[in-house]
A and B are shown apart, each in its own frame.
Chain A
């Protein structure tokens, strides 16, 4: 599903924010991405959601070499990825319904299906009363749920979430984690960047630990059993 080989990333002429990162995630896997602030979690997520190309190394996603892929292939690959950004990145002039509907409209789904799918998901994430609300009128937690709903509405093959439960109360947080678990059981590969030990302790999934700009993968839930990410 995702394969990184000796990947490095730097911004401009600055130092490398990711150094020699190598790992492979199989289809249907569920990983937490964790590590101290500034370790490069967001940069690694950016590479995975194809928001940036690496300065060195090879990235292979959905069987496509991203370094040499055509624009068409990159576009098709992006449509298979759902991303929850740390700062939500909702489109401010669109209401909650239209923000969530965006991936479906990009895919060209008809409006009737879009309405049915979006209404169902909005109900599921507890936003059924906020369909017409603009993001600026929603609370942080509600905006985060809109961002999550937007990421999963098109049933992506790969879901990347950067601190998806950060602004949510524990009950909604666990409800969303249950949703992620269900998506994972249905075959979606999931990578969640989080600092929350309680989430990682509750949901036992392997951890990708970034420290000093390099990556280690822990096969068990315990961070103390970590080893170098192997290919």
Chain B
């Protein structure tokens, strides 16, 4: 049996507008959610393996900018290595070779023997068995006893700038998602208001016949839900296909190193829930708006 409407809500201009607007907003919403996933993945990739990884710098220059004697520098390095081997909470110790350091600074300093002018510091990369803060404090104190110039740095701290970039991208995507939901809500509310204004005479007749507010609101709710469902599923399809095309075929070539968002079950559920969420949100907003307007009638 087909659903019956007492009010002319099907195929009016506002229904078409709502359908198109919902589809467009769903496309934008899907892109915003995809952008969020991409930014989150990128942050995870950058920080992967950096947890519990620290670098110890044994400088060749003291805090006053004076070059430390080679023997003393070597002694500091050896004492540090000996200390690290004694600590049970360290799982791996890697000393960065001078050749490796030369390669790292070559893009800025060139291939000259600059260590004769400014000697290279010694770098030792270590991995802790756990991220227990007390172990890091203990290590810091022990290194300070060897020399106050020795510095302990977390790799995650070095990634701070890049991580803040991805966090900003995630924040912007989150704000965009919230804004898009807000725009969907506002546009539905105004569409229902406009439609009730257009059908004021008919709504009033139903009201005077003793139709409860729920009877009238239900008609707007049902129509808005169905239009929202149609619009959001069309938008979802367009958004999903376009996002896939952009990620698979355009991005890898133009943005080197950007990784494709991994679609696990949770994410598939989140994306698939978008059109359903939009449909239900539209229906709830339509019902509440219609109710509020009905309350103004005597």
Q: How far is the CA of A83 from the CA of B207 in the complex (A)?
A: 12
Q: Is the CB of A106 within 8 A of B205?
A: no
Instruction: Tell me the count of chain A residues lying within 8 A, CB to CB, of chain B.
Output: 27
**B13: which A residues are within 8 A, CB to CB?**
none
Does any Cβ of A come within 8 Å of B88's Cβ? no
**A98: which B residues are within 8 A, CB to CB?**
4, 6
Closest CB-CB distance, A88 to chain B, in whole Å?
10
Among A53, A78, A91, the residue within 8 A (CB) of B210 is A78
Q: How far is the CA of A53 from the CA of B215 in the complex (A)?
A: 22
Q: Is the CB of B201 within 8 A of A106?
A: no
Among A74, A81, A89, A107, the residue within 8 A (CB) of B205 is A89
**A76: which B residues are within 8 A, CB to CB?**
210
Q: Taking A91-B202, A93-B8, A94-B6 as contacts, is the C-beta distance between A106 and B209 under 8 angstroms?
A: yes
Does any Cβ of A come within 8 Å of B206's Cβ? yes
**B298: which A residues are within 8 A, CB to CB?**
50-53, 74
Q: Which residues of A61-95 are within 8 A (CB) of B?
A: 71-72, 74-81, 83, 89, 91-94
**B8: which A residues are within 8 A, CB to CB?**
91-93
Q: Taking A53-B298, A89-B201, A93-B8 as contacts, is the C-beta distance between A78 and B206 under 8 angstroms?
A: no
Does any Cβ of B come within 8 Å of A49's Cβ? yes
Q: Is the CB of A78 within 8 A of B205?
A: no
Does any Cβ of B come within 8 Å of A103's Cβ? yes
Closest CB-CB distance, B198 to chain A, in whole Å?
12
Does any Cβ of A come within 8 Å of B126's Cβ? no
Nearest A residue to B201 by beta-carbon distance? A89
Q: How far is the CA of A71 from the CA of B298 in the complex (A)?
A: 9
Q: Is the CB of A103 within 8 A of B201?
A: no
Identify the interface centre among B7, B204, B211: most chain A CB within 10 Å of its CB. B211
Among B201, B205, B212, the residue within 8 A (CB) of A75 is B212
Nearest A residue to B8 by beta-carbon distance? A93
Report the interface size class on chain B: 10 to 19
Nearest B residue to A103 by beta-carbon distance? B209
Q: How far is the CA of A79 from the CA of B212 in the complex (A)?
A: 10
Does any Cβ of B come within 8 Å of A221's Cβ? no
**A91: which B residues are within 8 A, CB to CB?**
6-8, 202, 205
Does any Cβ of B come within 8 Å of A133's Cβ? no
Nearest B residue to A150 by beta-carbon distance? B209
Does any Cβ of B come within 8 Å of A105's Cβ? yes
Q: How far is the CA of A55 from the CA of B202 in the complex (A)?
A: 25
Q: Is the CB of A106 within 8 A of B208?
A: no
Question: 0/1 per residue, B177-216, Cβ < 8 Å to A?
Answer: 0000000000000000000000001101111111111010
**A92: which B residues are within 8 A, CB to CB?**
8, 202
Does any Cβ of B come within 8 Å of A102's Cβ? yes
Q: Is the CB of A83 within 8 A of B6?
A: no
Nearest B residue to A72 by beta-carbon distance? B212
**A83: which B residues are within 8 A, CB to CB?**
208-209
Closest CB-CB distance, B217 to chain A, in whole Å?
13
Nearest B residue to A78 by beta-carbon distance? B210
Q: Which residues of B197-245 are within 8 A (CB) of A?
A: 201-202, 204-213, 215
7 smallest A-B Cβ distances: which pairs?
A: A79-B210, A78-B210, A93-B8, A106-B211, A91-B202, A75-B212, A89-B205
Q: Which residues of B contact A (CB under 8 A)?
A: 4, 6-8, 201-202, 204-213, 215, 295, 298
With contacts A74-B298, A76-B210, A106-B206 known, what are 6 further pairs, Cβ within 8 A? A49-B208, A51-B204, A72-B212, A91-B205, A92-B8, A103-B210
